[in-house]
Amino acid sequence: MVRRIGAYGAQVGLLAVLGLVAAVLLTAMPRLANGYADRSLHADVARLPHLVRDVSLAVEQRLDQQRPDEAKPAAAGEANLERFAAALPQPLPSLVDRRWYAAVLDEQNLSATGDDPPMDGGAAKKIGLRAQTGLQDSAVLTAGRWPDTEAGGSAEVAVSTAVAEVLSLRPGSRLRFTGASPANQASAQVVGVFNARDAGDPIWDDLTLGLNPIVPVVDGEPYLAMAVTDWAGIDTVVAGSGVPVSYQWRYRLDERRLDTATLETVVTALGDTRRTEWLPRSTVHTSLDVALVRFVDQLHAVQALLAIAQTGLVASLLGLILLAARLTVQRRRDELALLRARGASLAAIGRRTLAEALPVQPVAVLLGWLIATRVPGRSEGTPWGVLLLAVLTTAVVPVLAMLSQRRAALTAGRVDLVRQRPSVRRLVLEAGVLVLAGLGVVLLRRRGLDPAGGVDAYLSSVPVLVAVAAALVAIRLLPWPLRLVGRLTGRARGALLFLGVARAGRGAPVALGPLAVLIVAVSTGVFGGVVTTTVAAARDRAATLTVPADAWLTGWAFSPDAADELNRVPGVQAVARVSVESSRRLLSEAGPQARALGQARVLVVDAPAFAEVVARSGVDVQVPAALRSAARGDGPVPAVVSPTLAAELGDTAVADVQSRWYEFRVAAVADSFPGVGLGVDRFVVLPWQALPEYEFTPIIPNRYLIAGDGVDEAKLLEVADATQRRRQSEVLGREVTRTQLPATLETRQAYRDGLERTGANEVLTLAFTAGAAGGAALAVLAVGFAVVADAAGRGRMLSRLRTMGLSAAHGRRLLVHELVPLVVVAAVTGAAVGIALPRLLGPTLGLAQFAPGVPMRDHLDPLVVGGVLALVLLGLLAGLLVENLVNRRMRLGEALRLGEGNA
């Protein structure tokens, strides 16, 4: 047995390598997918705001709602912090990382005045109070001490350095907190000033007003701030002011303990938490389950696409394994025929070949599985697919060997011809594949490919069935045009082209099994490339609609003349002022007879400047001519509106722009407009240059579109914040030294890169990278098999032609003529299937999950077409390389032996 394995080591080794690669594919891709999915899940959850990702239990109580036996100090609630955490539905208790208990007096309910010394005059001061566990460990005192309120005395509070600076507070400052009634007051004293150790620590999420107070922008608005105190301080202020106190228990789930396998259980537990009444009149605040459901939906779409890509690769590998086994049986047909002639039964032949496969094939598959387990990621239980693969690679040669010897024959038939009239059994089998492919497409379009309840093996294999059906049709149709070409080449000078086309037209092994595998492999790769470019094009469109320039500068309120200063920043080439306001009212007309038309997002843009910025940024955006040509004059200004609004509006309407009413007429209707935002179905775009403005009430920009290359971002933000402070100073009538809302700069490229990092995008990239790269590699292998499958017959032919003066170069040209029909037909058919599948399956693929707010349009990148052409050339080169390797081992001069082969 060992000698037999050594004698046929090339065939046995080839089958073992294919089994190893298949085992690696079956094991590594799911592990990588799980690892990438978990990593994407962790990143998505980590980016969520605390109001979404954390589980918060809250109870609000008023003094007049409490019975005497219910009155408890604020400190009593801290005992429930661990009890509630342990009582959360499973598996939430094991996911909880950090937890906090807090007693809060909302800033909207408390007005503060300064007694000694008085606080900065002007607008009203709304200062909330908060006592929370862990604050002292997360802050550093810069002056004074931490609050320690004594019973019956004034409440002691501490403020951040920012609050102390804005409100002119220091240790020793006396405050008076007033509730809803002026008679309800509580005295307090500032005893400390602190800074956060890490302002990004989640413990400060509910204390943003404590670290960054809000300064009024327009007259009539108050200062908003937050101070910290201790439990006794909360009780003192509640007793004096009579404002309601809110007790909050907040639990942060550690995203690193989440994995995609338990997401549905976590979502169910979060829903049960929200429906549980933890305390009388308590509420639960979290939207993590909604975010997880959205991630699960995207993950299901990715898993469906991954299943399609993996099925295509596995089908190609199984086809190659079948071809390798068939090649092994062909190489040993004389040996098997001799055994059969000497009386060996089919079972004996099967046992003989099985004994040769058992020491090699299972070990190779096991080795592939072990290699794949070293890939980072998470496994999915028992590897049943690997076990089936081990059985298949071990049994395929014995089964084919027994099938080949069902009929004992004394002479060998020609292996370069196939039966011109296929059997009824084969025709029925091929027709069944066509029916299964067509039925699968219909079911897939109706039901979709949703692996929420487990991957449907049949529906996941529909793209492969379509490719196999196309391969069967190509196999049946290919000989006819080749025979016609053969007749034409028979009249040409030279025999090389005629011989090559004639061999391909006979239906030799070159044009059967390898052709089917090649089509499946090419279709898998092209399908992955088309879907990848489709998603990429949609994301490019999303980036263009969201940031329709090189950069998008966003702030609270810039001064009207900020554009001149921004233009002077190094690298800036052009700017366009923009005002974006959400939920603005619309009226049917001006005057008391006006009818309300609901609300919409209103975008006011300097259209000529916008067009210049777009042109300089190289963005594919067309600014409507009606907006660009609009100018100040009598009558309504032209506007671009969404289709939803267009159906509701009349000839004219009125929009609220920064508390001023402007009449407009519908000049154009558009599904989307750059800068409005994705998924907004009610919007109005007005031309800034056409709106009447007044010296003391100009329209204030809150955004700027920036065109430029190599912009000094730090300098740009510095200038932007300076203009914002100047605008606040004009409103308040005094010098403002702090920017209420610092400006932010988002580049189009950064937004586009961010789309690549959201959701299960890494799994999507894995699916189509594996499909494209794996399909190309397997296609090249299929060409190599096509050459090896008939190496012996081609060797005999070349030996005969060598006696007639054929050179080695002519031999290579002959192989090229023989391979060109195979590779070209497979490439064209596979590419056609790969391009048609996204259109055929349509929304079934769920690609809209990866570019929300933008319609998916099938996009064929020229690089995909170039890749197919490159694959044709690579396949031909691979065929020539394999032919050279085979010819080195075969002595072509000795291939013509008496009785060997047929003429």
pLDDT digits (tens, 9 = 90+) for 689-701: 888 877 667 888 8
Among 654, 726, 716, 724, which Cα is nearest to 691's? 654
Mean pLDDT of 105-112: 88
Q: 838 lies in a domain?
A: yes
Mean pLDDT of the chain: 81
Final residue of a structural domain among 754, 782, 816: 754
Claim to verify: residue 763 and residue 733 sit in the same structural domain: no
Distances (CA, A) of 137 to 130, 131, 133, 199, 900: 15, 13, 9, 13, 90
Claim to verify: residue 725 and residue 873 sit in the same structural domain: no
Of 609 and 808, more confident = 609
Q: 555 lies in a domain?
A: yes
Final residue of a structural domain among 709, 738, 754: 754
Residue range 126-177, pLDDT digits in tens: 899 999 999 999 999 999 999 999 887 889 999 999 888 888 888 988 988 8
Furthest C-alpha separation in the chain:
121
Among 237, 238, 245, 160, which Cα is nearest to 204's? 160
Residue range 547-589, pLDDT digits in tens: 989 999 998 888 888 888 998 899 899 999 999 988 888 888 7
Final residue of a structural domain among 704, 728, 754: 754
Of 402 and 860, more confident = 402
Q: 845 lies in a domain?
A: yes
Q: Is the pLDDT of residue 40 over 90?
A: no
Mean pLDDT of 777-782: 76
Q: Is the pLDDT of residue 455 over 80?
A: no
Claim to verify: residue 741 and residue 767 sit in the same structural domain: no
Claim to verify: residue 750 and residue 763 sit in the same structural domain: no
Within 10 A of 509 (CB to CB), how many other CB atoms are there? 22
Residue range 227-271, pLDDT digits in tens: 999 999 999 998 888 888 999 999 999 999 998 888 889 999 999
Q: Is the pLDDT of residue 758 over 80?
A: no
Domain of residue 355 covers 2-36+297-541+758-894
The sign of the torsion formed by the CA atoms of 39, 42, 45, 47 equals negative
Residue range 823-843, pLDDT digits in tens: 788 788 888 888 888 887 767
Kindly state the tokens that stand for 812.
Answer: 């290579």
Q: 683 lies in a domain?
A: yes
The residue to which tokens 């016609």 are assigned: 484
Among 424, 428, 711, 456, which Cα is nearest to 566's? 711
Mean pLDDT of 424-444: 85
- Alpha helices, DSSP H only, in 417-512? 424-447, 457-460, 462-477, 479-489, 496-505
List all residues 6 or more positions away from 751 whose beta carbon is below 8 Å from its beta carbon. 543, 546, 547
Claim to verify: residue 610 and residue 571 sit in the same structural domain: yes
Claim to verify: residue 408 and residue 513 sit in the same structural domain: yes
Claim to verify: residue 321 and residue 376 sit in the same structural domain: yes
pLDDT band (50, 70, 90) for residue 438: confident
Pairing verdict, β 245-253 and 96-105: antiparallel
Per-residue pLDDT, 898: 39
Percent of the chain at pLDDT exceeding 90: 17
Claim to verify: residue 374 and residue 402 sit in the same structural domain: yes
pTM of the model: 0.78
Q: State how many domains the chain has.
A: 2
Mean pLDDT of 680-689: 89
